[in-house]
Amino acid sequence: MKTQPKKTVHKSRMVPQKSLEDYISHLEVCLHTENRKKFVRDAAQSMLLWHDGKLTNIQSERLRALANITVGFIA
């Protein structure tokens, strides 16, 4: 008798408020220590989309600043 494969439950992309603060701080650290501009910009843009309307003013301001980073290349 074959067993049915377990259905994968898709986790919500919503992040709890406390870990949201931690994640924003993590993005800021990544930007300054690891110079991962594209990763930080893309992550901040998606966080703004997923948490639209549920962010505090300070959180949305910090994420907007990270989302507006220009990714340039040194020639």
pLDDT, tens digit (0-9, with 9 covering 90-100), for 10-50: 455 555 666 888 989 999 988 887 778 888 999 999 999 98
Whether residue 11 lies inside any domain: the answer is: no
Whether residue 30 lies inside any domain: the answer is: yes
Q: Is the backbone of residue 53 left (phi > 0), alpha (psi -120 to 50) or beta? A: left
Whether residue 34 lies inside any domain: the answer is: yes
pLDDT, tens digit (0-9, with 9 covering 90-100), for 16-26: 666 888 989 99
Rounded to two decimals, what is the model's pTM? 0.66
Domain of 22? 17-67
Whose tokens are 């074959």? That residue is 2
Whether residue 10 lies inside any domain: the answer is: no
When divided into structural domains, the chain yields a total of 1
Whether residue 59 lies inside any domain: the answer is: yes
- Identify the burial level of 40 via C-beta atoms within 10 angstroms of its C-beta, where 0-12 means exposed, 13-18 middle and 19 or more buried: buried
